[in-house]
Structure 1
Amino acid sequence: MRIKRKLSQALAALVIAVPAAVSAAAPAHAVGPALLPVTVTNNTGRGEAVHLYVIGINLNTNRLGYVTKSGAFTPWPAGSIPPSPAPDASIAGPGNGGATTLQFPRGFSGRVYFSLGERLKFFLTPDGLVQPAPWAAGDPNRNILFDWSEFTYNDAGLWLNSSQVDMFAVPHAVTVTGANGVTAKTGEPVNNGRNAVINGIKAQPGWGNTVYTRPDGTVLRVLAPGKAAQAGLMSANYLDSYIASAWNAYTGKTLTVVPFADQPNTRYFGRTSGNVMNFTNSAGQRVASFNRPSTASVWGCDGDLPAPNDLVVGPISRTLCAALNRGTLGTIDTQPSTNAAQFYQNSPTNQYAKIIHQHMADGKAYAFAFDDVGAFESLVHNGDPRAAGLILTPFGAGGPNPPPPPGAVPVVSDWHGKCIDVPSGTFVDSAPLQGWTCNGSGAQKWTFTNGTLQAGGKCMDVAAGSTANGAAVQLYTCNGTGAQQFVLSAAGDLVNPQANKCVDIKDWNSGDGARLQLWECAGTANQKWHKG
């Protein structure tokens, strides 16, 4: 089960769309409490006041409204044209280092908004609540730092997710604790993750304008590519060349879509004719057809990729959209692909989704509408919840270190079987590399990339680019210099070609913490390595 992510928009005013209720029979074994405590923790490191809002739909009455701190539901009054100001539904949130507990009433679906420094401005039309839309010109919330999570809480449990479908602004994690006392958490950025996402996206050609900075210098948000393109901040045709290549790949071969992980025999087969991809079922009957989608349709998972709530067209469309966003359509012919190491390898690619996923502690995020295909979304669910949480995470340093990327391996000494290790798993410039008992941690996982060895997003490096015997081998920001080139030979020598010298365990120290250095290659055991 998933909360519906795509937000339909009514009127030019962008009226809020409430996530579709999760339809499920109440479990016979347990039902969550009538009021579920949800604790919002402020670890941002910022001093502004925090304002919270719980808005959405009462699933029992189908009425739109808001929830107070104590969990009482209040329907919105009638709106007007032009939109009229909504009643103030804000709840005072926690200061930095503090926590505030809200109550979610069972039978409610919607969003928790959180703004820093200023209250959000909501308005009402006859059709409902106008949601903040800072990508739209003239939106009154444009210069407010805010974000939201989405949830549904009903008799079947709680679904709670962080969302980057529209923008990335306030980093936050979501948690749920079940009746068994076990807590699940996701959505947490890595150490300095917010800055890494912002700077990473800024650095991509054509993406710089998707980052919005307030006049006082505060970076407020990165817009998702669909929103940025709508606002004229990046090319509206950015993905067109890749889409055409991927679509045309199936004029001469068959795409197999297996949309349900628990139903491997339910398969659909796609072939392209002209600009149309037609799908047949196992009996050869045509069941769906899709025009070659525009870039906008891929960003939004809509338009040419309609996804009705059925059991055939919608699941195929979801799979196509995920594959196009992740860049696997055209090269991986059975979808969905669930090997994250194969995602975002195409050019051009969805840099927004790629960079956000790279900087999440568990690699999970909701960076586009159907990022839940293959379970890569930042969602927690429990059928028998007892508590939940939203953690506003640090804007700067703080949080866990990056997880090792797919394909990362330990580099092990042939001599004593210990691993090349980053001390304390602290991926900082000039951290001296050492030998340490192999423990499977990210501090000992290395990727061999373009002649470099990388861990935690940084490179194995010879200090100061020295070529002398005894030069320290360390970790440092990747910079493309010869000091960061290493080759593991078939003989087990880990060689720096610039110096033509080997990575050596200093002083034949067999203990944990032994430093590594560069030394003349001698073929000795303290210079022999292999991939674990």
Structure 2
Amino acid sequence: MRGFLVSTLAIAATLLSTSAARPLVKVHPGTANDIVITNKNTVNATTTALSNGTIPANSSTVQITPRSSTSGRLPLSLVNNFAGNINAYVTGLDKNNALVMLQPDGNWYYPQSDPSATTPQPINGNVGIPLGAQGSTTSITLTDYISAARVWFAAGELKFFTVWNPATNGPSLVEPSAVNPSDPSAGVNWGFVELTNTAEGGLYANISYVDFVGLALGMSLLSGDGSIQTALGLQPKAVASICAALASQGQTDGQEWDNLCQADENGDPLRVIAPSDFLSTNAESFAEYYTEYIDEVWTQYATNTLSIDTQAAAGTVACTVQGSLITCAGDNRGYAKPTPSDIFGCNSGPFAIAGTDNDVHRAIVPRLCAAFNRSTLTVSGGDLQPGVGAKSYYTANPTNWYSAIVHQHEVDGKGYAFAYDDVNPSGDINQSGVVADANPTVLTVTIGGPSTS
């Protein structure tokens, strides 16, 4: 959601035939010519900054300085529990919406782009921050407010690029893509935490597995009032365990769960991509997976009421199947039967939100899509959404086994595994792995699994 489709470049993917217990897609890192640019791996500035942090003379935007006031300072404590060298990278938009990356000296680096270039241009600035050895803690500081940000961690070097964006007359940052097995960074084990820290909203950070599972990360936030929020993330070596569980599930139901796993050059599990991203290049997969379940839902709510708690001003609204659509009181439009891609992605078909949709519709979409991913619409108590708690998620078949298995391998069950994983009954456990505070003191990120002491 942080960018839009800038362009599409050619991709070549090689599928290797292996046993069901091993990943089928073996990565083969390529060059800039192999990059596929989508809305998921681009960040788009609305301000163009020069490399020294100033705005071009023909711009009406106020001047940017590399270091601003201390009001937006956010200390990061990076704990390396990984048995190997780790590099950190920080990307995002500064408070003037210019693209920035953090340099080891604490100053912002402003990526540039050549409008005449025909391929993505590599960022060659000093933007990698090496962490100390296993067991050490590295402290860095974000010197000012930042949004649409990611803090990346890699067992190796990640490659970032820029392309010219004519819509904004400035550069767009092209980030490493976990989905593309030919991405220049495809052979690197990496992951990230997402965060936004603004004067208006404070800090909001999360661990996201919406697109893929990679390097094990966890985090904790020391708030201004002294309280601590945690999202402990994945267990050490979780990728191999998740791949084994997905392979077992595929043998049970005949679906391509094992194909979500990518292998490194040695054939060892490297990362797991989400089914929504897998379907973007394998459109025929999971084609009939939800068909019977969807028909069962439509039959049940043709004669029964589905109540959806909007957890907002509209309160709880009544929904029923009328003709081919689920229709809800106060909603400006109804919901057709979704496809597997609609369910896994939560942003297409009946779950796409239009600019003209009213507040009721905007509240129902995430709650209805979460119910389909967790298969809670037909369980006992499922006629209220969100109503049943986490203990009832993924207990019916078919379900989103990627999300279910990822949560099973999280230390505390927290971390986004699909887009609306933050939908939960009021007062119940929030599985999304979000930490937030208006007055943050320090954000700690642990790499390689939780500390044992």
- The TM-score range, normalised by the shorter chain, is 0.7 to 0.9
CA contact (8 A) 1:257 1:268 kept: yes
Query: Taking CA–CA contacts closer than 8 Å with sequence separation of 6 or more, which of the two structures ends up with the larger relative contact order?
Result: 2
Q: Distance in 2 between matches of 1:100 and 1:233?
A: 43
CA RMSD of aligned residues (A): 2.7
Task: Letter of the 2:321 partner, please give it.
Answer: T
Shift in CA distance, 294/208, structure 1 to aligned 2, threshold 3 Å: same
Q: Distance in 2 between matches of 1:192 and 1:250?
A: 43
How many residue pairs are counted as aligned between the two chains?
374
Q: Note if 1:152 corresponds to 2:196.
A: yes
Residue 94 of structure 1 aligns with which residue? 132
Task: Letter of the 1:381 partner, please give it.
Answer: A
Q: Distance in 2 between matches of 1:224 and 1:313?
A: 26
Q: Distance in 2 between matches of 1:324 and 1:199?
A: 24
Shift of 1:105: 3.5
CA contact (8 A) 2:2 2:43 kept: no
Residue 51 of structure 1 aligns with which residue? 87
Q: Note if 1:378 corresponds to 2:433.
A: yes
Q: Distance in 1 between matches of 2:2 and 2:360?
A: 18
Shift of 1:146: 0.8
Q: How does 1:266-305 map to 2 (within 5 A)?
A: 266-281=315-330, 286-304=331-349, 305=351
Q: Distance in 1 between matches of 2:81 and 2:192?
A: 16
TM (normalized to structure 1)?
Answer: 0.65
Q: Distance in 2 between matches of 1:19 and 1:180?
A: 35
Residue 12 of structure 2 aligns with which residue? none
CA contact (8 A) 1:32 1:386 kept: no
1:262-311: CA deviations, max 9, x gaps? 65x61222222343222213xxxx53322211111111111110135863
Residue 11 of structure 1 aligns with which residue? 7
Q: Note if 1:125 corresponds to 2:125.
A: no
CA contact (8 A) 2:44 2:99 kept: no
Q: Distance in 2 between matches of 1:349 and 1:53?
A: 35
Q: How does 1:272-421 map to 2 (within 5 A)?
A: 272-281=321-330, 286-304=331-349, 305-307=351-353, 311-331=359-379, 332-374=382-424, 375-394=430-449
Q: Note if 1:178 corresponds to 2:223.
A: yes
1:180-200: CA deviations, max 9, x gaps? 333221133357645433322
- In structure 2, stretches of 5+ residues that fail to align are 9-36, 46-68, 166-171, 251-255, 425-429
Q: Distance in 1 between matches of 2:284 and 2:191?
A: 22
Say which one has the larger Rg.
1
- In structure 1, stretches of 5+ residues that fail to align are 21-30, 401-532
Shift of 1:393: 2.8
Q: Distance in 1 between matches of 2:119 and 2:237?
A: 42
Residue 138 of structure 1 aligns with which residue? 182
CA contact (8 A) 1:275 1:291 kept: yes
CA contact (8 A) 1:69 1:103 kept: no
Q: Distance in 2 between matches of 1:344 and 1:236?
A: 17
TM (normalized to structure 2)?
Answer: 0.76
Task: Letter of the 1:116 partner, please give it.
Answer: A
Residue 207 of structure 1 aligns with which residue? 257
Residue 241 of structure 1 aligns with which residue? 292
Structure with the higher fraction of residues in strand conformation = 1
CA contact (8 A) 1:210 1:222 kept: yes
Match of 1:85 among 96, 107, 122: 122
Moved over 6 A (4+): none
Q: Note if 1:112 corresponds to 2:112.
A: no
CA contact (8 A) 2:376 2:393 kept: yes
1:228-278: CA deviations, max 9, x gaps? 222339824233332333244322222111121x65x61222222343222
Q: How does 1:489-508 map to 2 (within 5 A)?
A: none
Percent same amino acid at aligned positions? Answer: 26
Tell me, what secondary structure is at the counterpart of 1:354? helix
Q: Note if 1:259 corresponds to 2:314.
A: no
Tell me, what secondary structure is at the counterpart of 1:204? helix
CA contact (8 A) 1:43 1:97 kept: yes
Q: Distance in 2 between matches of 1:70 and 1:251?
A: 62
Q: Distance in 1 between matches of 2:301 and 2:104?
A: 53
1:438-472: CA deviations, max 9, x gaps? xxxxxxxxxxxxxxxxxxxxxxxxxxxxxxxxxxx
Task: Letter of the 1:365 partner, please give it.
Answer: G
Shift in CA distance, 192/145, structure 1 to aligned 2, threshold 3 Å: closer
1:94-124: CA deviations, max 9, x gaps? 322122222123320111111102x112221
User: Which has the larger displacement, 157-166 or 248-257?
Assistant: 248-257
Tell me, what secondary structure is at the counterpart of 2:404? helix
Shift in CA distance, 7/106, structure 1 to aligned 2, threshold 3 Å: same
Q: Distance in 1 between matches of 2:202 and 2:70?
A: 6
